[in-house]
Amino acid sequence: MFSKETIAAFGARKTPFYFYDLALLDDTLSACKKAADQYGFHVHYAMKANFNHEVLKAIQAQGFGADCVSGNEVKKAIEVGFPADKVVFAGVGKSDDEIIAALQFDIFCFNVESVQELCVINELAGKVGKTARVALRINPNVDAYTHHNITTGLEENKFGINQWELPACAEYLNTAEHLWLEGIHFHIGSQITNLTVFKSLCIRVNEIKTWFEERGFNLRVLNVGGGLGVDYMEPDQNNIANFSGYFEIFNQFLDRKLGQEVHFELGRALVAHCGSLISRVLYVKNGIKKHFLVLDAGMTELMRPALYQAYHKIENLTRGDIKEHDQKYDIVGPICESTDCFGKEVQLGESFRGDLIAIRTAGAYGDVMSSRYNLREQSEPFYLRKS
Ligand code: LLP
């Protein structure tokens, strides 16, 4: 829901652009922090969801850590002011240069995804005279019941170390001179709305944790990843994710010894709702059976609908809720691909060339996944933080 003043401010700008409601972001961050603090949980923000500078600054200011998946993300996190001891470097394909840079920054921990990666980090740490703190990303084989393109915790995908490889890891860690095992790490997928899935994760983490402890490893950190979903259908009614319900599950079902830390890597739940893609109608095409609105934003600005058939609520900000002339439109972009479509048969007030259109809940995996396909222009985001 945007105020009249905000819509007027949109109208004065060149479209398309991303809009970030920083006040809503602040509220979301405090809700998350409050819920996590209740149990002494630590949250690292999964920077891949949105690395916009203002967004990162707001997140850093509230004391979150950063979960990074590239050398550039590590560098950016440090630049923005995240303390190095709250920076984690994850990812299935870290290059030697990226590993060395992260070692030089003395980051908190590497989440390691294979036995070979352990060997490489050990060797590089030896070369630069450091000890690398590592956590093993273990594939828990837990189904997240989310979109198949964003599920990651099942055995057949490329992420994480499979459970049958754990003896080899344990053996290697016992001899590796430049590695220090901080803990174990899991991530089962994204946009998880059925919270009972996290209970299954806890049960598996408890088993794997016991396996390590029985072999004499003292795990200081249990990192259970991210994945908490948001409500894309009703962005105004449910604009803050259910952080309390989520953390409560881990508090209830995860066994932790005194002094053992529980870490989370939330991306989407922190930033999705505060962002919208603002666009204008370029053309209205009326067919016999179908009506199309052609927008000046396309899959190049927001790829999720084209890539995952993801739903984003679409609103005509110029017309508001005009009920008596409601019309169903296929809302498409200007890109020469038939998947360049934001929504089919979307019910909107009768719309015209020049109308402002908002595509909601686009703060996570929106701008960061944009591309220059068709030599598109990159626009500057717009921010508001009302007091
Ligand atoms: N930790 C790891 C190891 C991850 O791979 C991810 C996301 C996260 C944490 C953060 O997950 P979140 O809390 O945001 O669900 N582009 C897709 C989502 C890809 C998620 C990739 N990994 C989308 O637009 O839905």
Alpha carbon nearest to ligand 1 atom 8, residue: 226
More confident residue, 149 or 195: 195
Share the mean pLDDT of the chain.
95
Distance from the alpha carbon of residue 277 to the mean position of ligand 1, in angstroms: 20
Model confidence at 387, pLDDT cuts 50, 70, 90, reads very low
Ligand 1 interacting residues, C-beta cut-off 6 A: 46, 49, 67, 90, 150, 152, 187, 190-191, 225-228, 265-269, 304, 365
Q: What is the 3-state secondary structure (H, E, C) of the chain?
A: CCCHHHHHHHHCCCCCEEEEEHHHHHHHHHHHHHHHHCCCCEEEEEHHHCCCHHHHHHHHHCCCEEEECCHHHHHHHHHHCCCHHHEEECCCCCCHHHHHHHHHCCCCEEEECCHHHHHHHHHHHHHHCCCEEEEEEECCCCCCCCCHHHECCCCCCCCCECHHHHHHHHHHHHHCCCEEEEEEECCCECCECCCHHHHHHHHHHHHHHHHHHHCCCCCCEEECCCCECCCCCCCCCCCCCCHHHHHHHHHHHCCCCCCCEEEEEECHHHHCCCEEEEEEEEEEEECCCCEEEEECCCCCCCCHHHHHCCCCCEEECCCCCCCCCCEEEEEECCCCCCCCEEEEEEEECCCCCCCEEEECCCCCCCHHHCCCHHHCCCCCCEEECCC
Give the active site residues.
336
pLDDT (tens digit per residue) in 287-303: 888 999 999 999 999 99
Alpha carbon nearest to ligand 1 atom 24, residue: 365
Alpha carbon nearest to ligand 1 atom 9, residue: 226
Does the ipTM surpass 0.95?
yes
Mutate to test the pocket of ligand 1, among 265, 301, 371 (most ligand atoms within 8 A of CB): 265
Distance from the alpha carbon of residue 49 to the mean position of ligand 1, in angstroms: 7
Domains of the chain: 39-266 (3.20.20.10), 275-384 (2.40.37.10)
Mutate to test the pocket of ligand 1, among 146, 154, 190, 231 (most ligand atoms within 8 A of CB): 190
Distance from the alpha carbon of residue 79 to the mean position of ligand 1, in angstroms: 22
pLDDT (tens digit per residue) in 186-203: 999 999 999 999 999 999
What pLDDT, on a 0 to 100 scale, did the predictor assign at position 150?
Answer: 56
| pTM of the complete model | 0.96
Model confidence at 1, pLDDT cuts 50, 70, 90, reads confident
% of the chain residues with pLDDT over 70: 96
User: Residue 185 CA: which ligand 1 atom is closest?
Assistant: 3
**Looking at 40-49, 356-365, 378-387, which range is the least confident one?**
378-387
**Looking at 40-54, 151-165, 205-219, 282-296, which range is the least confident one?**
151-165
Distance from the alpha carbon of residue 190 to the mean position of ligand 1, in angstroms: 5
Is pLDDT at 152 greater than 90 in this prediction? no
Distance from the alpha carbon of residue 262 to the mean position of ligand 1, in angstroms: 18
Alpha carbon nearest to ligand 1 atom 7, residue: 190
Alpha carbon nearest to ligand 1 atom 16, residue: 365
